[in-house]
Structure 1
Amino acid sequence: MRIMGLDVGTKTVGVAISDALGWTAQGIETVKIDEDAGQFGINRIRELIAEYDVSEFVVGYPKNMNNTIGPRGEASEQYAALLKETFGLPVVLWDERLTTMAAERLLIDADVSRKKRKNVIDKMAAVMILQGYLDSKNR
């Protein structure tokens, strides 16, 4: 049983998966969505759940720096509720403040081109969200 980490945006969802022991997170893909059109990539998420034997979700929860919840945080809450309703699996909202910026810095430090960064940033953010959650459980 593995844990799936998700970084939810308006156009894409970055997806990461834990190893079977729940120690490490690996990025697997970026799922295209269209929040405005109500298309949330649920069919692809369903396929990934089956492929990786997922038992739990960790959804990035972008709080404001003063700990309040803004529009993106509310969107993450709604996505988490959709996952729970659709799949009946536990969903944890995980504080992801600055995760995307940290992922971007990591990629810049690794000298990844701007074009390539754009293609992997959401997946990398999902890895950082999931790894933070796994590290908190394995202390």
Structure 2
Amino acid sequence: MTAAPPTVTTDASAFAAAAPAGRLAGLDIGTKTIGIATSTVDRAFVTPLAALARSRPSADLAALATRLAEEQVTGIVIGLPINLDGSEGSRARSVRAQARNIALACGLPVLLWDERWSTAAVTRDMLEADMSRARRARAVDKLAAAWILEGACQRLARLEASGTGR
């Protein structure tokens, strides 16, 4: 008998039930890079970590699985690019497929998190900080991953405080 595949869900409560306590990773999956952020073990703080340059899907999965194992994460939050009207287009379908592959490769539960405003929010913050275009280009993906993970960690903390999580 084979084990059930890891959970891939948009439901924070289901994710909380599937993800053991510990560090989470946040991913912002782009066509050229994958932004990575991690939380502290108590999920109170989030840190932008890296932007993994994309190559081949199998190489991307292997590099990601290795990096997340090194970081000892217990669950993954992946930004889901939903359209402004709430519908899902081809990018969202692609990210859903990649999320399933990442969950299987890493053996970890995945929470798909609405990322509609992540890039815009971090870009606005970087512009306000007067970052150069080159520095913004290098930082945007890992900062977007941190923004995504921060929102999910806040939601998970509210669930735990209300007694509906874990």
Task: Describe the shift of the 1:89–1:77 C-alpha distance in structure 2 as closer, same or farther (beyond 3 A).
Answer: same
Distance 2:85 2:59 in 1: 29
Contact 1:33–1:39, Cα closer than 8 Å, also in 2: no
Query: Greater Rg, structure 1 or structure 2?
Result: 2
User: What TM-score results when the alignment is normalised by the length of structure 2?
Assistant: 0.79
Deviations 1:2-48 (A, max 9, x none): 100000001100000001111111011000114xx535622221222
* 1:91 aligns with one of 88, 104, 110: 110
- CA RMSD in angstroms, aligned pairs only: 1.2
> Offset of 1:88 from its aligned partner?
1.8
Structure 2 unaligned blocks of 5 or more: 1-21, 159-166
Match of 2:60 in 1: 41
Distance 1:12 1:26 in 2: 17
Match of 1:74 in 2: 93
Distance 2:128 2:59 in 1: 32
Between the two proteins, the alignment pairs up a number of residues equal to 137
User: What TM-score results when the alignment is normalised by the length of structure 1?
Assistant: 0.93
In the TM superposition, structure 1's runs of 4+ consecutive aligned residues that sit over 2 Å from their partners are 37-40
Contact 2:82–2:92, Cα closer than 8 Å, also in 1: yes
* 1:115 aligns with one of 110, 130, 134: 134
Secondary structure of 2:151's partner?
helix
Distance 1:49 1:134 in 2: 17
